[in-house]
Amino acid sequence: MNAILEQLSKFGVVPVVVLNEVKDAEPLAKALCEGGLPCAEVTFRTAAAEESIRTMTEKFPEMLVGAGTVLTTEQVDRAVAAGAKFIVSPGFDPEIVDYCLNKDILVLPGCVTPSEVAQGVKRGLKVLKFFPAEQYGGVSTIKAMAAAYVGIKFMPTGGINPKNVKDYLTCDKIFACGGSWMVKGDLIAAGEFDKIKTLTEEAVALVKEVR
């Protein structure tokens, strides 16, 4: 589990992907890998999510693929069976968190309040998602909460883009950022995977400027 966290931290940015068609999973994964970011959080917002995770992990075994927007334990099982190496939820659902911990599955639950962070601390979690980041005060809120919970790092997601990602990554309490700007739905739908590769390369360069 720690090895997965180390990988995510090195990437600095985790592409948050919404796939409506399974056919797009392979070219998208190829674009991310060639762009230098062999990582994706595939959200369980669509019917294509499970099979897309399976396709990515089978075709590109070097990729670190997780499942996002996981709302039930049944989705946890489906995601892991498809090859997901980590689970991300938008909020702190104790049932999902405890289920993952009991099965030794890396879980990054969403938090925006000290009370939610406290629930993560109680369970021994070291990294929590902060979502939606920009709407809940961004870096300043994370710094304020991290002052009280010194052992916790955060993965902010929501409203992060090339203009503000460096502000987040310069904070030592931020583990990595979730972002969708390099994998926008309209680019995927239009088959503009070369553009996605270019945006991915630019995201990698931004990370290298501050880490």
pLDDT in the model for residue 36:
98
The answer to whether the beta carbons of residues 125 and 44 sit under 8 Å apart is: no
**Residue of 41, 85, 153, 173 marked active site:** 41
Q: Average pLDDT of 176-205? A: 98
Please state whether the predicted TM-score (pTM) of the whole model is above 0.85.
Answer: yes
- Give 130-162 pLDDT, tens digit per residue: 999 999 999 999 999 999 999 999 999 999 999
Active site residue 129: yes
- Give 42-70 pLDDT, tens digit per residue: 999 999 999 999 999 999 999 999 999 99
**Residue of 50, 85, 129, 173 marked active site:** 129
Nearby residues of 167 by Cβ (< 8 Å), 6 or more positions away:
138, 139
What value does the CA radius of gyration of the chain take, rounded to a whole number of Å? 16
pLDDT in the model for residue 1:
56
pLDDT in the model for residue 7:
96
- Is the pLDDT at 191 greater than 60? The verdict is yes
Active site residue 51: no
pLDDT bracket for residue 197 (50, 70, 90): very high
Distance, in Å, from the CA atom of 112 to the CA atom of 126, rounded to the nearest integer, reads 15
